[in-house]
Structure 1
Amino acid sequence: MTDVQALREVLTPAEELTIVCHNNPDPDCLASALALGRIAAAVGIDERRILYSGDISHQQNRAFINLLDIDLREFDPTSVHDRPEGSLLAFVDHAVPGGNNRVPEGTPIDVVFDHHPAEGIEARFVDHRESIGATATILTEYVRAFDLELDATLATALLFAIRRETLGFLRGATDAEYAAAGFLHEAADLNLLRQLSTPSVTSATVDAIAQAIANRSVRGAVLISHVGRTSERDALPQAADYLATLEGVETAVVFGVVDGSIHLSARSTDTRVHIGDVLTEAFDDVGSAGGHREMAGGEVPLGIFADYADDDEGLIAIVEQVITARLVAALNLEADGDA
């Protein structure tokens, strides 16, 4: 049985499908969810919903949802508890309950599409390919195999997601990304692609990136920085992307306090460093962290630091000290660095 036949067999008897995005979903996750919803509609599932948890603060992600008019709803725990007969639960761009999502551990999952490193994936249907550059690439293959009508909205969403996830085909892109892009290009709205590529930036994002630039510390080819406390979680990957372009820097890690957690974003072009493994080693015992060789992220609950400071300034100082020390140890760096 082919993967397409296996997916059809899981979907066909169902009456409704709940697609759960990971926390703070990005275009790759959102476009993949949109594509899976279209596939479900094609096999006769009338009730479909896309849920997310966390925040959608990145200006590009907000523009993506608004310009493509994606019907996105906040995560509702009742959607995954005591599901009625004929109701399916799917993950896209993540794979395990409780891992970068608010679905309780042990919840039965029916469908999983993902390209991130993950272990212990259990579902009735799984297409998990770490070698692929974007989950949207995988879903594009299924859109093509199911012979769906490729309208401008779906084609634009998938093409933009592939471009964004691979940084314009410069990070983790494979032959599959180029093949998917070639298939999607003719139907995509190129004007809309340009709009999505150049969204407006909030002043809070600019401030956070400025803090990351000011707080940077460079040790050899590794840059570590923080933004202090920010409301713009998605400023962290933007800062990491920018600082990774600094001359002589091959690995950049940026962290900051967002609400009740410490968030981290990392980038690396050093072939000796698997930055996903580095973050896992550094923070897996106190939070969740990991990712690809070139791109990774993590989250550590702030509660473990709360008893060590009476004010926010002191808290940020302790967070900086502890997080930096863990990164220095995991990356086998010298303790001192130069700004």
Structure 2
Amino acid sequence: MSTAQQLHDLLTEGSELNIVCHNNPDPDCLASALALGRIASAAGIDERHIFYSGDISHQQNRAFVNLLEIDLKQFDPAAIQDLPPGSLLAFVDHSVPGANNRVPPGTAVDIVIDHHPAEGIDARFVDHREELGAAATMLTQYVRELDVDLDDTLATALLFAIRSETLGFLRGATCAEYDAAGFLHAHADRKLLRQISSPSVTGETIDAISTAIDNRMTKGAVLISHVGRTTERDALPQAADYLATLEGVDTTIIFGVIHDAIHLSARSPDPRIHIGDVLREVFEDVGSAGGHHDVAGGEIPLGIFADYTTDDAQLLAIVEQVITARLVAGLKLSNKSED
């Protein structure tokens, strides 16, 4: 029996499907959730919900949700413990309760579909393929094999997600991504794709990127910078992507204070560095971090800096000093700054 058929058969056992996105979901997660909902509908499940925690703050992600009219609900961790009989719980683009999601650790999960590195995955149905560039590729394969109705909304969502997750097929793309994109292309709405791809940018995002440019410090081919305090979480990966184009830079790590946590975003095409492992090893004692060899992120609660939270200037100075020192040590860099 094929993997797609196994998924379909499990869905036919349920009367309700609850799809939980990871924190601050991106297009790959959202499109995958939308596709899984369509597959569940074809399997006879009428009650379907997509939940998320955190924020949808990146202007492209907001455009994605609004233009595709994706119905999202805020996730309540308490409610997940009280699901009615026949309810199925699914994760897409993440895989372990409590890791980049607010699902209580130890919660029983029915379906996991993910391409990120992870250990300890436990579910009734697991499709975990780290070699692929996007979860949306996996969902496209299911839609295709199960002959699920593919309208222009779903095709556009999946095609944009694959393109976004692979940075226009330049990061982690495999033959499977190209094959999926070729299948989706004929069904996608080109005008909608252009609209999602070119949303307006907020002034605060520009300010955050500007701050990262001003604060940059390079050591060899590694650039470390911060955006200070911002409410625009997705300004960090945007700053990381932009500064990664700086001549001579192979690894970029950007951090900043957002609400009550320090967030990190990193990029590194350097084959000598697995940036996901670096962030995990550097910050696993104070927060959660990790990712792929070339793209990664993390979050550290501000609780470890509790003594400084009454003075924002002092807090930012201490955060910059501590985070930078940990990264320099973790990457085994010289203590001499070149900027």
User: TM-score category by the smaller chain?
Assistant: over 0.9
Equivalent residue runs for 1:1-339 within 5 Å: 1-308=1-308, 310-339=310-339
Q: What is the number of equivalent residue pairs in this alignment? A: 339
Structure 1 stretch 282-291 or stretch 4-13: which is displaced more? 4-13
Write out per-residue CA displacement over residues 233-262 of structure 1, whole angstroms, 9 at most, x where no aligned residue: 010000000000000000000000000000
- CA distance in 1: counterparts of 2:306 and 2:179, whole angstroms: 49
Q: In structure 1, give the amino acid aligned to 2:304.
A: I
- CA distance in 2: counterparts of 1:25 and 1:244, whole angstroms: 23
Write out per-residue CA displacement over residues 185-220 of structure 1, whole angstroms, 9 at most, x where no aligned residue: 000001111111111000010000000000000000
Report the Cα offset of residue 5 of structure 1. 2.2
Q: In structure 2, give the amino acid aligned to 1:170.
A: L
Structure 1 stretch 309-318 or stretch 255-264: which is displaced more? 309-318
- CA distance in 2: counterparts of 1:152 and 1:113, whole angstroms: 23
Write out per-residue CA displacement over residues 235-292 of structure 1, whole angstroms, 9 at most, x where no aligned residue: 0000000000000000000000000000000001101001000100110111000000
Identity of aligned residues (%): 73
Report the Cα offset of residue 9 of structure 1. 2.1
- CA distance in 1: counterparts of 2:159 and 2:287, whole angstroms: 33
Alignment partner of 1:131: what SS? Answer: coil
Task: Give ranges in structure 1 of 5+ residues lacking alignment.
Answer: none
Q: In structure 1, give the amino acid aligned to 2:158.
A: L
- CA distance in 2: counterparts of 1:20 and 1:309, whole angstroms: 32
User: Contact 2:8–2:39 (CA<8 Å) still a contact in 1?
Assistant: no
- CA distance in 2: counterparts of 1:314 and 1:115, whole angstroms: 39
TM-score normalised to the size of structure 1?
0.99
Structure 1 stretch 79-88 or stretch 226-235: which is displaced more? 79-88
- CA distance in 2: counterparts of 1:324 and 1:167, whole angstroms: 27
Report the Cα offset of residue 6 of structure 1. 1.5
User: Contact 2:5–2:146 (CA<8 Å) still a contact in 1?
Assistant: no
CA RMSD of aligned residues (A): 0.8
Write out per-residue CA displacement over residues 289-325 of structure 1, whole angstroms, 9 at most, x where no aligned residue: 0000110000000010111464100000000011001
Report the Cα offset of residue 330 of structure 1. 1.1
User: Contact 1:140–1:158 (CA<8 Å) still a contact in 2?
Assistant: yes
User: Contact 1:256–1:263 (CA<8 Å) still a contact in 2?
Assistant: yes
User: Contact 2:92–2:114 (CA<8 Å) still a contact in 1?
Assistant: yes
- CA distance in 2: counterparts of 1:4 and 1:185, whole angstroms: 21
Alignment partner of 1:113: what SS? Answer: strand
Report the Cα offset of residue 77 of structure 1. 2.4
TM-score normalised to the size of structure 2?
0.99
Alignment partner of 2:88: what SS? Answer: strand
User: Contact 1:18–1:79 (CA<8 Å) still a contact in 2?
Assistant: no
Q: In structure 1, give the amino acid aligned to 2:316.
A: I
- CA distance in 2: counterparts of 1:222 and 1:78, whole angstroms: 42
- CA distance in 2: counterparts of 1:47 and 1:338, whole angstroms: 57
Q: In structure 2, give the amino acid aligned to 1:223.
A: L
